[in-house]
């Protein structure tokens, strides 16, 4: 069976028809991992023994005719999501040998369906970065060009799906960390509404922004995974106690009359002309299929990146303060308490994590809290208001996912501000707690994928998936040659 870019629905059909067993399917993916991952470096931990045990249990359920949508389906999981008994590193030396004694809420939900774990995928350290090059263990490469980054922080998950090393994967998104790598790697990824998916068991970066979501080959598979992982969780105080719909309920329905907004600020000179053109061409195609295009403005976008980084880094400084070498994490050396903590954090954290902790502590310090952090919170409210105004005249918003296609490894290593500004198209979604999906809308002259984002109202994932699926039905993706 050819597993490259095979969707979950096809795998489900093959498993239920006994065309292939769960163990055999698992074996096919491990062959692919063994062949390609030494070049791609998308996994930190491969769980072959556990996967075969999971597959055996899943096969018994399939044989009994009781399979759920994900029974026997191999999946990858980002390495900041806790799995009982499986090493979870957050791609950091600080947690190099950490083995959680419990499952994240999303893993419990996947276990209930009988999924098969392929392994834990690489990421930027503690999800801080946009390239997966800050990983302490596996600096993932882009399957379309091994000299380029896969995006981040969920770059390992996106690269694994794009290269056929997993049919789908879980990632996490704090400021675009599902959508941007999905764009760079030519796959589909959705960041759900904040609170839609439990964060219990997700190692925190910025608690008011983080959200778990799926990366897959298309919008239909994303809907299928959302059906599995969403729902209220009493273990998570930020989990939304709202009804969970069938996220595929609108898929396949016509988009005639649906209003799509195009905020002019997202199509400024900061976006590469080729990227801009592919997204605008996609909007015209959706218009031909019955959608109504609406011009609008979002002036607050120019403040989005500084507001986001002030909020995210402030929360990161608080969340990561627990890693001191005593209560949690890598233990350094020192004759005194202060020396021990200093050595543990100096050697346990990478440069990007240290940079953001310093920025966060600075923003929260006496004398600067009002000048920076409080202003960022005020800008957050302004951005929310601007989105509400746009949704008063439109059903969804269409933007580029990233201002450029995947850039070369090392290209932005000496300019962190340039890398931060690359998040301009994604961070407002997290600030406003909205759902958004990124799907491929074209390719550059040298074959690199270009992604577009479809943003919806809070808890309206069904509409953004409907529009993404409508676009994908008329688009022929190009698989990487890896």
Q: What is the pLDDT of residues 255-305, one digit of tens each?
A: 999 999 999 999 999 999 999 999 999 999 999 999 999 999 999 999 999
Whether 240 shows a pLDDT value over 90: the answer reads yes
Pairing between strand 259-263 and 396-400?
A: parallel
Instruction: Name the pLDDT band for 442 (thresholds 50, 70, 90).
Output: very high
CATH number belonging to domain 8-256+436-473: 3.90.1300.10
Percentage of the chain with pLDDT > 90? Answer: 94
Whether 236 shows a pLDDT value over 80: the answer reads yes
Q: What is the pLDDT of residue 328?
A: 81
What is the C-alpha to C-alpha distance for residues 195 and 459, in angstroms, rounded to an integer? 9
Q: What is the pLDDT of residue 178?
A: 98
Task: Kindly name the residue from 21, 42, 67, 78 that is annotated as catalytic.
Answer: 78
Say if residues 411 and 147 touch (Cβ distance below 8 Å).
no
Whether 416 shows a pLDDT value over 90: the answer reads no
Q: What is the pLDDT of residue 414?
A: 78
Instruction: Name the pLDDT band for 415 (thresholds 50, 70, 90).
Output: confident
Whether 166 shows a pLDDT value over 90: the answer reads yes
Catalytic residue check, 268? no
Q: What is the pLDDT of residue 265?
A: 97
Whether 373 shows a pLDDT value over 90: the answer reads yes
H helical segments located in 300-410: 304-319, 337-348, 351-364, 374-390
Q: What is the pLDDT of residue 418?
A: 82
What is the C-alpha to C-alpha distance for residues 179 and 468, in angstroms, rounded to an integer? 13
Whether 1 shows a pLDDT value over 80: the answer reads no
Instruction: Name the pLDDT band for 419 (thresholds 50, 70, 90).
Output: confident
Catalytic residue check, 120? no
Q: What are phi and psi of 204, to 5 degrees?
A: -75, 140
Whether 52 shows a pLDDT value over 90: the answer reads yes
Count Cβ neighbours within 10 Å for each residue of 169-204 and write b for 16 or more, e otherwise.
bbbbbbbbbbbbbbbbbbbbbbbbbbbbbbbbbbbb
Whether 384 shows a pLDDT value over 90: the answer reads yes
More confident residue, 433 or 418: 433
Mean pLDDT of the chain: 97
Catalytic residue check, 153? yes
Domain range list for the chain:
8-256+436-473
Percentage of the chain with pLDDT > 70? Answer: 100
Task: Kindly name the residue from 21, 154, 157, 177 that is annotated as catalytic.
Answer: 177
What is the C-alpha to C-alpha distance for residues 71 and 457, in angstroms, rounded to an integer? 31
* Mean pLDDT, range 396-415, rounded to an integer: 94
C-alpha angle with apex 59: 108 to 71, nearest 5 degrees? 40
Say if residues 267 and 276 touch (Cβ distance below 8 Å).
yes
Instruction: Give pTM, 2 decimals.
Output: 0.97
* Mean pLDDT, range 221-231, rounded to an integer: 98
Q: What is the pLDDT of residue 23?
A: 98
Q: What is the pLDDT of residue 29?
A: 98
Count Cβ neighbours within 10 Å for each residue of 330-345 and write b for 16 or more, e otherwise.
bebeeeeeeebbbbbb
Task: Kindly name the residue from 122, 153, 172, 438 that is annotated as catalytic.
Answer: 153
What is the C-alpha to C-alpha distance for residues 266 and 401, in angstroms, rounded to an integer? 9
Q: What is the pLDDT of residue 2?
A: 81
Q: What is the pLDDT of residue 34?
A: 98
Q: What is the pLDDT of residue 141?
A: 98
Instruction: Name the pLDDT band for 407 (thresholds 50, 70, 90).
Output: very high
Q: What is the pLDDT of residue 5?
A: 86
Whether 308 shows a pLDDT value over 90: the answer reads yes
Q: What is the pLDDT of residue 264?
A: 97
């Amino acid at each position: 069976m050819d597993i490259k870019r095979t969707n979950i629905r096809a795998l489900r059909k093959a498993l239920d028809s006994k065309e292939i067993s769960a163990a055999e399917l698992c074996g096919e993916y491990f062959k692919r991992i063994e062949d390609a991952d030494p070049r791609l470096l998308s996994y930190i931990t491969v769980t072959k023994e556990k996967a075969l045990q999971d597959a055996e249990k899943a096969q018994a359920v399939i044989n009994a005719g009781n399979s759920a949508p994900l029974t026997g389906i191999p999946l990858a999981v980002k390495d900041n999501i806790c799995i009982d008994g499986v090493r979870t590193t957050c791609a950091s030396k600080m947690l190099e040998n950490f083995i959680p004694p419990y499952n994240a809420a999303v893993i419990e939900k996947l276990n209930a369906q009988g999924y098969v774990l392929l392994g834990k995928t690489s990421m930027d350290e503690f999800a801080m970065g946009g390239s997966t090059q800050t990983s302490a263990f596996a600096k993932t490469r882009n399957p379309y060009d091994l000299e380029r980054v896969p995006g981040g922080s969920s770059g390992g998950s996106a690269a694994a799906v794009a290269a056929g090393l997993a049919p789908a994967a879980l990632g996490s998104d704090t400021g675009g960390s599902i959508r941007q790598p999905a764009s760079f790697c030519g796959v589909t990824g959705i960041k759900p509404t904040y609170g839609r998916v439990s964060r219990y068991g997700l190692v925190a970066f910025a608690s008011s922004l983080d959200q778990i979501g799926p990366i897959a080959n298309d919008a239909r598979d994303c809907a299928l995974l959302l059906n599995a992982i969403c729902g209220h969780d009493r273990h998570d105080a930020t989990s939304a106690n709202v009804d969970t719909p069938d996220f595929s309920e609108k898929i396949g329905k016509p988009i005639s009359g649906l209003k799509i907004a195009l905020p002019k600020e997202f199509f400024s000179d900061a976006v590469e002309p080729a990227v801009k053109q592919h997204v605008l061409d996609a909007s015209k195609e959706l218009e031909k299929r019955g959608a109504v295009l609406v011009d609008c403005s979002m002036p607050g976008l120019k403040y989005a990146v500084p507001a986001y980084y002030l909020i995210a880094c402030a929360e990161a400084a608080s969340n990561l303060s627990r890693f001191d070498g005593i209560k949690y994490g890598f233990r350094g050396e020192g004759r005194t308490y202060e020396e021990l903590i200093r050595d543990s954090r100096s050697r346990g954290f990478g440069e990007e994590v240290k940079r953001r902790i310093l920025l966060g502590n600075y923003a929260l310090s006496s004398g600067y809290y009002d000048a920076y952090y409080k202003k960022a919170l005020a800008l957050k409210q302004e951005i929310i208001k601007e989105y509400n105004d746009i949704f008063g005249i439109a059903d969804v918003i269409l933007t580029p996912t990233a201002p450029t296609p995947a850039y070369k490894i090392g290209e932005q290593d000496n300019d962190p501000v340039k890398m931060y500004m690359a998040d301009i198209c994604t961070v407002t979604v997290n600030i406003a707690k909205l759902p958004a999906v990124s799907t491929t809308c074209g390719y550059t002259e040298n074959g690199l994928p270009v992604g577009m984002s479809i943003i919806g109202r809070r808890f309206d994932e069904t509409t953004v998936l409907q529009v993404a699926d409508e676009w994908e039905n008329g688009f022929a993706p190009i698989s990487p040659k890896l």
